[in-house]
Structure 1
Amino acid sequence: MPGYSTNEWTKYISLEMGEIEICDVTLRDGEQTPGVAFTREEKIDIARMLDEIGIEIIEAGFPATSQGEKESVKAIASLGLNAKICCLSRAIKSDIDAVIDCGADMVGMFVGTSDLHLKYKHKKTQDEIIDCAVEALEYAKRHGLIVRFSPEDGSRTGLDFLKRFYRAGEEAGADYVGAIDTVGIMTPATMRFMVGEILKTVKLPIAVHCHNDLGMAVANTLAAAEAGAKQLHTTTNGIGERAGNAALEEVLMNLRIQYGVDKYDTTRITDLSRMVQKYSGICMAKNKAIVGDHAFAHESGIHIAALLENDRTYEVFSPELVGGKREFILGKHSGSKALCYMARQMGYTLSEAETTQVLCEIKRLSELKKSIRRNELKDLIDHVVGQKFNTPEASAP
């Protein structure tokens, strides 16, 4: 039996899933999270682990923002990783020069295309913005960079203009075009439609970049992949500006379980998550999918009894697959099987009466909002069982 269950329902739907690659943007968009600033050493640690997992592209930063950022990107580009190193750039020559100076392989070049961005940020017409973007693209290509040509706020850009933008990028030599949901407004249905329209317009691979403002970044990323997008953008733990980006750990595990994409070493996911939590100062919710403290924690007696027979009954994949650990927690919903199992793991064999007594105490404590973990159970058993042998009746001659 594999370490995970597969989704049998996918056989009923038509998918366009092709050759997928991940571009992780933790070191760039993740660092745009308010209050987050990685040191050069922290960036290097994260980049190395992303590379060990098998991530194909690491977006190492936005070198035009500061000299320190530029030096960090240079350091990552010089590590000799298997992953290609990408940098973000506006569609201006000085930004591209900074990318070139870093020794990066790829540039993610962007310019705002929605009416809002054209009017209030760029103060340019549609034709003017295309001319600027194409000029910058051609400059980057002349200097040997792989170019991802992206319309910022593309998901709020009119379709006709969006198609003109993509065609101009293809004609100028872009290597990728971006389906960019800058403000997280898309749904899986609209994302599939958008990717489908791009595929009708150009023959270039599509990179999808989703934000989580409405809580659908991962779903939209997977929908784009189903529709034919190749490059999926993620951040570790889903960090990023505002509500964040598509979470790397959720995208990777969905790719494996839903679509059978198993080319990534997912056993490093939990270690990477904890590293990024430590370096960013942003802790995950206990119930966070894949990497939360409760992702493999079970309290229900019905669930635990079944898990002891076969762990697939209440887990879609084993915790070892992501470097996690299963944990049984005792509380008001727990039963004797879970208690006796945990007690045996610690070397105790409880009688039926002792089991009942300990379980009653566990349920009493749970009413006080207290759950019992393994390290606390030993003290509880010692206390309850010890009381049995220290009553006046038991000590009488």
Structure 2
Amino acid sequence: MKPYLIDTTLRDGEQAPGVVFSKKEKIKIANYLNELGVDEVEIGTPAISNDEKLIIKAIATEGFSYKTSSWCRANTTDILEASKLKTTSINISLPVSDIQIKTLEKSREWVIKELKKTTKYANNYFSHVTVGAQDSTRSDIHFLKEYIYFAQESGANRIRIADTVGISSPLEIQELFFNLTNSFPTMEFEFHGHNDLGMATANAITAYNSGAKCLSATVNGLGERAGNSVLEELVAYFIYKEKNTTYNSKIIETLCNYVAKASGLKLAVNKPLIGKKVHTHESGIHTSALLKNKKSYQFINPQDFGQEKIDFCIGKHSGKASISHFFNEKNLFLDDYKVLQILALVKEKSSTWKKPITELDLMQLYYDN
């Protein structure tokens, strides 16, 4: 089954505290997502403002190859406003956990009543309607199934199962989706995960392997609290593990860095796939092996994601191979004695300085000794 990837950076990603994308930035991100090859983009929430509506309509009518959607509260006013924005589909959402229903001072009966009314109403304006089950992973399974049943009966094309507070583990997600897909074999399911326990991407992959065709995610995992399932990590998984080559992964570094800059949230140097040091090795054992076979300690090819080749860091943990390699690249061929002499100095200096040795430092050690 080919995955259906839905990017929600422009909607859920922008809900990260303090993040605001301008119209220009949203359109630029939308362009990069088109280059990447996602299947759908959830552009925004019309109820936020008139400016938000204009941005949603501008992206929806740009002619990108992906489908488009907007997110709405389950009320007819929001749905009517969304219908004017030319998106392919709409996402409407209601809470299904007792804790969230009671927080709204509502009842399960109210949820079902509103679900039926708004889903049927949305079908008057959209050919595709996704119904979100907010806080699915904390809901009573029997009520969740009742909710899905009435959503389907009312014309929903897809059900979004949301781990709204990021409380689930992969085994729990597997059990949930096996249960739901067996109970509703003709329904298309989507998983929407949050990363509060650091498992959002793993949960998304587990959901896919347990019957969820659709996965929503954000660039850099941007989103509320600890963020969402990470779009670029899902792409990498499907490329390397599922051999899906429909994505233009070389755009990922450009996309991720642009979103980081636009959001004002810096990327960690060890961020998977594109962190500045994630393809850099210092350990002597690793560098020696990598010089013989790049796949020995790194199966990911940095160039697949728009980065340069594997790099070596010279420091406390380095070995002879990395020292020899460095100088060979400079057309300086050292004997074992000289290599060991410089290596000893490298270990001493980097331990004292508590940082790697720079190229300039290495050349200085060479000329001084």
After TM superposition, the score normalised by the length of structure 1 is 0.89
Question: Do residues 232 (structure 1) and 215 (structure 2) align?
Answer: yes
Q: Which of 319, 332, 353 pairs up with 1:335?
A: 319
- SS of the residue 1:60 aligns to: strand
- TM-superposition CA deviations, 1:240-288 (whole Å, max 9, x none): 0001001111111122223223321212111211111111111122222
CA distance in 2, matches of 1:344, 1:39: 49
Query: 1:112 is matched with which residue?
Result: 95
How far has the Cα of 1:349 moved from its partner?
3.2
Query: 1:365 is matched with which residue?
Result: 349
Query: 1:183 is matched with which residue?
Result: 165
Q: Which of 290, 295, 301 pairs up with 2:273?
A: 290
Question: Do residues 383 (structure 1) and 364 (structure 2) align?
Answer: yes
Q: Which of 54, 61, 71 pairs up with 1:78?
A: 61
1:1-397 alignment, distance < 5 Å: 18-121=1-104, 123-202=105-184, 203-325=186-308, 326-367=310-351, 368-372=353-357, 376-377=358-359, 379-388=360-369
> What root-mean-square deviation, in Å, do the aligned CA atoms of Structure 1 and Structure 2 show?
1.5
How far has the Cα of 1:195 moved from its partner?
1.1
Q: For the Cα contact (< 8 Å) 1:111–1:152, is it kept in 2?
A: yes
- SS of the residue 2:295 aligns to: helix
Query: Which deviates further from its counterpart, 192-201 or 28-37?
Result: 192-201
How far has the Cα of 1:365 moved from its partner?
2.1
Query: 1:394 is matched with which residue?
Result: none
Q: For the Cα contact (< 8 Å) 1:357–1:384, is it kept in 2?
A: no
Q: For the Cα contact (< 8 Å) 1:61–1:73, is it kept in 2?
A: yes
Q: For the Cα contact (< 8 Å) 2:134–2:164, is it kept in 1?
A: yes
Q: For the Cα contact (< 8 Å) 2:90–2:126, is it kept in 1?
A: no
Aligned residues: 366
CA distance in 1, matches of 2:84, 2:334: 68
The letter of the residue matching 1:386 is Y
The change in CA–CA distance for 1:49 and 1:132 in structure 2 (over 3 A counts) is: same
The letter of the residue matching 1:132 is E
How far has the Cα of 1:322 moved from its partner?
1.3
Q: For the Cα contact (< 8 Å) 1:167–1:201, is it kept in 2?
A: no
- SS of the residue 2:6 aligns to: strand
The change in CA–CA distance for 1:318 and 1:35 in structure 2 (over 3 A counts) is: same
Any stretches of 5+ residues in structure 2 without a counterpart?
Answer: none
After TM superposition, the score normalised by the length of structure 2 is 0.95
- TM-superposition CA deviations, 1:212-259 (whole Å, max 9, x none): 111110111111001110110111111100010011111111222232
The change in CA–CA distance for 1:144 and 1:385 in structure 2 (over 3 A counts) is: closer
Query: 1:13 is matched with which residue?
Result: none
How far has the Cα of 1:351 moved from its partner?
4.3
- SS of the residue 1:259 aligns to: coil
Q: For the Cα contact (< 8 Å) 2:315–2:347, is it kept in 1?
A: yes
Q: For the Cα contact (< 8 Å) 1:179–1:194, is it kept in 2?
A: no
How far has the Cα of 1:155 moved from its partner?
1.0
How far has the Cα of 1:76 moved from its partner?
1.0
The change in CA–CA distance for 1:358 and 1:160 in structure 2 (over 3 A counts) is: same
